[in-house]
Structure 1
Amino acid sequence: METEPVRISEALRALGAAVQSSGVSGAVWFKESSPRNLRSRDFLVPSGALRKSFPDGEVPQDLVNKLMSLNSPGMPCIHNCLQNDAGLIIQLDRPAVFQRVLTDISPYLKPVPLDLCSEHGTVILNCTPLHSCKSLNELKLSHLRAALVADHLTEVLRLRGVRVHLIPEVHSQEIKSFLHQLRIFWPSVSDIPSFRETISAFKTSLKESVHTDYKDTDHSEDTEQILFNMHLKSFVEEQNLAQQGYDPNLDAFLVNEEDLEQLAWVHKCVQETHEEAANCTILHVVSCEEEFHQQKLDLLWRILDPSAEGITQKHLICGQVKVLNPSSPISCSQYFHIRKSQMQEASVMKYGESVQGNRWDEIITCLASAAVKFEMMSTAHRSQVTLDLEDSSITTKGTKSGAFVMYNCARLATMFESYTSAVQKGLYPEFPRAAELNYSTLKEEGEWLLLFNYIMPFPEVLAQSATISLASPGIRVTANTEAEPLPHLFGVMFPRLQLMRAIQSVLHSALSTLHILPLNQI
């Protein structure tokens, strides 16, 4: 059991089970996170809950003994358990926890293993704004936000082993190139697939549908022309879909060629994944301006395609993107260019005329990409994002900014590069094996904060990122040091370096879910 990765969730589960097995209900454990509270405890049942759970508010000694002796896979070692004014507290054996975590960091770089694949099977991820955008000028900021969310979801779902298929394939070369600057490698095609047969079959079905007012389709090459007038309310009532979260005002739907083409993409992907589709979900990532229209398309596909009946459709809505005080509407390419120019200016101010050449252009593009992603992704996807494009909004001091994160990536890389160089010069010995280090030297408050608040919870953060309630009712879902070279200090330096190495690994793993390339230097 000592070799099992330490899990915060397992600690909370085991502590809760121990209390409940003693016949106590309503006592909930909390993980501490603030520096002040972590000075004296790691887990807590508040005193108020104890007074409700125990007649005199006193915790029996046999329960304390049971908690002290807990030993299960993933459960960290306990140093102390006692009751004080705050409540019932647990303090972990911190040197032992440092030892277990830092000896092998690899389990903390991936999601907590859950049987999520059997729950979700295959996910067809439909980034709906990409259907209607034929050129980069048509790609709005809200569309870009949806694409970033879709790209991130793809990565975290695949980390969990979920099979993900992306639609539509991008045809516009300029959109493809723009997305590549942001390291969004969305599928693309040189020629738009022909959906003539599928769309023809859809039109035949619509002509015969009781929910359709038939219109003339002789000029179907015009994608804006109205082909059919659908009445969706009767279908919603017929299928008992009113409680699924569809807008109650859904009824008239003026169907055009572009609508049928979007459904043809969905139909094609479902057919291609037929063997996997026994447990298939279609996740539509939608900008809020297009939410109402996407609900219509959802219902239209149910009417048109018999295969839709056994497939779950969910809608993940991305909120508006607002620019503060714009002199004119800001396009996606303008937004990226502004951020890149600001990163260029900031780099020149810091590093002077050396900021030139291909290497610096790569660094600045990477910084701009990180800035865009952190701005767009640091707000809950359903909420509005507000962009401040002034120069003063770019800083390396705000902990939520992309520039800050990338700057610290580079600092960590430089630190390890300096250590390696010092080893080569004979100033430092080779790094010992992680299991041989004395982790009892890690006594600083900040060291425990890094381990307990960031490294240990990271697998569960990744798991929560990939846990979309696809089986929930309704159509909507939501997706959340180096010391001086003196021999007597090596015993302190090496454990700290190992901690920093773990932080660097976790940071790189987190950035990879956003397809952000960590910088080695700035």
Structure 2
Amino acid sequence: MEMGSGAEGSVGCFRLSEALRALNALLLAAPRAHPASVWFKESRGRKLRNRDFVAPHEALQNLFPQGQVPENMINGMTHLQIAGVPPIRSCKQTEAGLVVQLERPAVFQQVLSHIPYYLKPSSASSGQNVILNCVPLHGCKSLESLRLSHLRAILVADHLAAVLRAKGVEVRLVPALHNEEIKYFLHQMKIDWPTLLVTSSVPDAILLLKQSLMDCIYAEKNEAEMGLQQKQETNAFCRVHFKEFMEKQQDLEGYDPNLDVFLVLEGNLRHLAELQEAVAQCLSAAESCRVIHVVSCEEEFQQQKVDLLWRIVDTGAHTASQKHLVCGPVKVLSSLSPVGAAHYFELRRSQMHKASFMKYGDLVQGNAWDDTINILTSAAIRFEMLATAHRSQITINMEDAAISTKGTKGGAFMMYNCARLATLFGSYHNAVHQGLYPAFPPTSELNFSSLQEEGEWLLLFNYIIPFSEVLSQSARIPMSAKGVRITANTEAICKFLVKLSMDFSSYYNRVHILGEPLPHLFSQMFARLQLMKAVQEVFHSALATLHIPPLKQI
């Protein structure tokens, strides 16, 4: 029988941000209040022993005489009842400040009885349409030309698409893949990129773009005007001058001031034609769409030219609101020549196989282990590429010592902990089959007051409850921000999984979840198994945004 997954129907979920907002609203109603947050969520195990939220003494001194909070205000917080705010057990003033502890058994009961509701983003964005244009894929004509910086941009776009879709956004990925080697490589990486053939509308769109440029006042229209250098470019169509165009625009903040002359090639027009086709598909289902160019820092200058060219030939709202999400450089230690993405993948796979063989010996053989090694390799690469903010440089160490099944910050460690949970539930079900344990009872019959171990509340309070808000933050893109560049929290899920894995591993190593098959121990065992089910579901949901399938065993 499956672990309890929660009751069906509508339910109000606890949101830690709602709790902080409500607590702040009460304190900031004081006469001396100023519009700033004074409450903080605790996260460390030692402090969580006695409190869940704290308003530090220093902040209280700015609000009340001698920092003393009125008794009626403290009582109001104790009896706070607002949708989304967990029930409060106590609120008292201490030397540290004003501290709040939640009614933990009630919070355990509500959350672990409705697990699916904590696996969805805390806010939906239905009706929005986004085009993610992965710029490096336009220029890569073969697998050999796919560099590490290109792979980073692809992984960022792939993950961003997943978190946006989880939030209800309609996402279209551009361009479609046509090279079979690149298709197969991305398939190995568990990247499901669109591979539709070019439709008949693309060639027609290219002809229309050429006609627009022929009529454009910023373009040089004939070979004599283009000059000898342009004649030598076999795919050159015309040359466009941006200076005058940019001077007439009022909303081009952040573009490189050195943008001037752009030699338009056939490939640039195909790039725009594919974007226009994606826009047409978006606008057939919605009133508007937004375009985000995911680009490596080495290609940012060139992509700004393509952006401006599109603005010149298409004056729609989608071109006026283009944004660029720029990925920082990828440096390789002790390498004098560029490292290709395919070589990087094969090296990491070889290293992961070697590390697995050192741990498990002759068991590492056969198709099942080949699949496991490929998944571990894909996970390791994603955590190397995505655990750092996309705009920052990352440094890759290609040595054997850089990859391991033991390191607590790598993808293999996340997969190992997923496998531990799968093994735990497999052991429980086997014991049920043997008659050692009873079948899992309905969630409504579980006694969560038995969850008294420090690590149990930490897992619920730091990971299960906040996960929906982490998903929402990962999908938050400030399209209205000034300038051409935007940032996204593409590192948030990886960082979340690293911390979750470390705290789960610490708890799992310390606590025996499947105890002796004695009736008086079953109540606590079932409560702990339900907690572990929630942790497992969070793992799986987070890994799904990275397109990493969970492993049942390692």
Mapped to 2, the partners of 1:422 and 1:518 lie a distance apart of 23
Q: Do structure 1's residue 110 and structure 2's residue 120 form an aligned pair?
A: yes
Mapped to 1, the partners of 2:191 and 2:231 lie a distance apart of 32
Question: 1:60: Cα distance to partner?
Answer: 0.2
Q: Do structure 1's residue 10 and structure 2's residue 42 form an aligned pair?
A: no
Aligned match of 1:252: 261
Q: Do structure 1's residue 421 and structure 2's residue 453 form an aligned pair?
A: no
**3-state SS, counterpart of residue 101 of structure 2:** strand
Question: 1:23: Cα distance to partner?
Answer: 4.0
Equivalent position amino acid for 1:59 in 2: V
Match of residue 65, structure 1, among 50, 70, 75: 75
User: 379-388 vs 274-283, which deviates more?
Assistant: 274-283
Q: Do structure 1's residue 517 and structure 2's residue 549 form an aligned pair?
A: yes
**3-state SS, counterpart of residue 80 of structure 1:** strand
**3-state SS, counterpart of residue 65 of structure 2:** coil
Deviations 1:396-436 (A, max 9, x none): 33332100000111111001000000000000111111221
Match of residue 184, structure 1, among 154, 172, 191: 191
Deviations 1:364-406 (A, max 9, x none): 1000010011110000000011111111112233332100000
Mapped to 1, the partners of 2:234 and 2:343 lie a distance apart of 28
Mapped to 1, the partners of 2:227 and 2:515 lie a distance apart of 79
Alignment of 1:298-317 (within 5 A): 298-308=307-317, 312-317=321-326
Question: 1:99: Cα distance to partner?
Answer: 0.9
Question: 1:192: Cα distance to partner?
Answer: 7.6
Question: 1:476: Cα distance to partner?
Answer: 1.2
Deviations 1:94-123 (A, max 9, x none): 111111111111111110024x335xx210
**3-state SS, counterpart of residue 295 of structure 2:** strand
Mapped to 2, the partners of 1:193 and 1:468 lie a distance apart of 33
Match of residue 321, structure 1, among 327, 330, 337: 330
Q: Given that residues 223 and 257 in structure 1 are in contact (C-alpha distance below 8 angstroms), is that contact kept between their aligned partners in structure 2?
A: no
Residues 338, 122 of structure 1: CA spacing in aligned structure 2 closer, same or farther, 3 A cutoff? same
Aligned match of 2:212: 205
Deviations 1:184-215 (A, max 9, x none): 11001356867333222222222322212234
Equivalent position amino acid for 2:150 in 1: H
Mapped to 2, the partners of 1:159 and 1:230 lie a distance apart of 40
Question: 1:148: Cα distance to partner?
Answer: 0.5
Aligned match of 2:421: 412
Q: Do structure 1's residue 351 and structure 2's residue 383 form an aligned pair?
A: no
**3-state SS, counterpart of residue 240 of structure 1:** coil
Aligned match of 1:153: 160
Alignment of 1:76-91 (within 5 A): 76-91=86-101
**3-state SS, counterpart of residue 148 of structure 1:** helix
Deviations 1:434-462 (A, max 9, x none): 22111111111111111111111100000
Residues 169, 138 of structure 1: CA spacing in aligned structure 2 closer, same or farther, 3 A cutoff? same
Mapped to 1, the partners of 2:364 and 2:340 lie a distance apart of 27
Mapped to 2, the partners of 1:245 and 1:329 lie a distance apart of 30
Mapped to 2, the partners of 1:423 and 1:521 lie a distance apart of 20
Q: Given that residues 378 and 400 in structure 1 are in contact (C-alpha distance below 8 angstroms), is that contact kept between their aligned partners in structure 2?
A: no
Q: Given that residues 330 and 395 in structure 2 are in contact (C-alpha distance below 8 angstroms), is that contact kept between their aligned partners in structure 1?
A: yes
Q: Do structure 1's residue 497 and structure 2's residue 529 form an aligned pair?
A: yes
Mapped to 1, the partners of 2:400 and 2:79 lie a distance apart of 57
**3-state SS, counterpart of residue 59 of structure 1:** coil
**3-state SS, counterpart of residue 285 of structure 1:** strand
Q: Do structure 1's residue 41 and structure 2's residue 38 form an aligned pair?
A: no
Deviations 1:53-107 (A, max 9, x none): 1122100001001101111111101111011111111111111111111111111
Alignment of 1:366-405 (within 5 A): 366-405=375-414
- Using the size of structure 1 for normalisation, the TM-score is 0.95
Residues 308, 18 of structure 1: CA spacing in aligned structure 2 closer, same or farther, 3 A cutoff? closer
Q: Given that residues 81 and 91 in structure 1 are in contact (C-alpha distance below 8 angstroms), is that contact kept between their aligned partners in structure 2?
A: yes
Equivalent position amino acid for 2:14 in 1: V
Residues 399, 143 of structure 1: CA spacing in aligned structure 2 closer, same or farther, 3 A cutoff? same
Aligned match of 2:130: 123
Question: 1:277: Cα distance to partner?
Answer: 4.8
Question: 1:484: Cα distance to partner?
Answer: 2.3
**3-state SS, counterpart of residue 519 of structure 1:** coil
Mapped to 2, the partners of 1:4 and 1:270 lie a distance apart of 37
Deviations 1:105-153 (A, max 9, x none): 1111110024x335xx210111111011111111111111111111111
Aligned match of 2:145: 138
Mapped to 2, the partners of 1:201 and 1:517 lie a distance apart of 44
The gaps in structure 1 that reach 5 residues or longer are none
Q: Given that residues 215 and 229 in structure 1 are in contact (C-alpha distance below 8 angstroms), is that contact kept between their aligned partners in structure 2?
A: no
Deviations 1:469-511 (A, max 9, x none): 1122222111122222222211221111111111000000000
Equivalent position amino acid for 1:134 in 2: K
Question: 1:305: Cα distance to partner?
Answer: 1.5
* Corresponding pairs, count: 518
Mapped to 2, the partners of 1:486 and 1:24 lie a distance apart of 59
Q: Given that residues 98 and 439 in structure 1 are in contact (C-alpha distance below 8 angstroms), is that contact kept between their aligned partners in structure 2?
A: yes
**3-state SS, counterpart of residue 550 of structure 2:** coil
Q: What is the RMSD of the two structures over their aligned residues, measured on CA atoms?
A: 2.2
Mapped to 1, the partners of 2:145 and 2:470 lie a distance apart of 35
Match of residue 250, structure 2, among 240, 265, 268: 240
Deviations 1:163-202 (A, max 9, x none): 1111100000110111011111100135686733322222
Residues 434, 24 of structure 1: CA spacing in aligned structure 2 closer, same or farther, 3 A cutoff? farther
Mapped to 1, the partners of 2:374 and 2:213 lie a distance apart of 48
Mapped to 2, the partners of 1:324 and 1:194 lie a distance apart of 45
Aligned match of 1:99: 109
User: 395-404 vs 504-513, which deviates more?
Assistant: 395-404
Match of residue 278, structure 2, among 249, 269, 276: 269
**3-state SS, counterpart of residue 492 of structure 1:** helix
Mapped to 2, the partners of 1:279 and 1:331 lie a distance apart of 38
Mapped to 1, the partners of 2:123 and 2:208 lie a distance apart of 43
Mapped to 2, the partners of 1:221 and 1:76 lie a distance apart of 70
Match of residue 479, structure 2, among 438, 448, 470: 470
Mapped to 1, the partners of 2:232 and 2:364 lie a distance apart of 50
Q: Given that residues 327 and 390 in structure 2 are in contact (C-alpha distance below 8 angstroms), is that contact kept between their aligned partners in structure 1?
A: yes
Q: Do structure 1's residue 360 and structure 2's residue 380 form an aligned pair?
A: no
Mapped to 2, the partners of 1:223 and 1:439 lie a distance apart of 72
Deviations 1:223-261 (A, max 9, x none): 76433222212111101134x211122112121111111
Residues 224, 45 of structure 1: CA spacing in aligned structure 2 closer, same or farther, 3 A cutoff? farther
- Using the size of structure 2 for normalisation, the TM-score is 0.89
Residues 441, 24 of structure 1: CA spacing in aligned structure 2 closer, same or farther, 3 A cutoff? farther
Q: Given that residues 290 and 318 in structure 2 are in contact (C-alpha distance below 8 angstroms), is that contact kept between their aligned partners in structure 1?
A: no
Mapped to 1, the partners of 2:423 and 2:200 lie a distance apart of 48
Q: Given that residues 322 and 387 in structure 1 are in contact (C-alpha distance below 8 angstroms), is that contact kept between their aligned partners in structure 2?
A: yes
Mapped to 1, the partners of 2:329 and 2:12 lie a distance apart of 44
Residues 467, 224 of structure 1: CA spacing in aligned structure 2 closer, same or farther, 3 A cutoff? farther
Mapped to 2, the partners of 1:78 and 1:224 lie a distance apart of 72
Residues 170, 393 of structure 1: CA spacing in aligned structure 2 closer, same or farther, 3 A cutoff? same
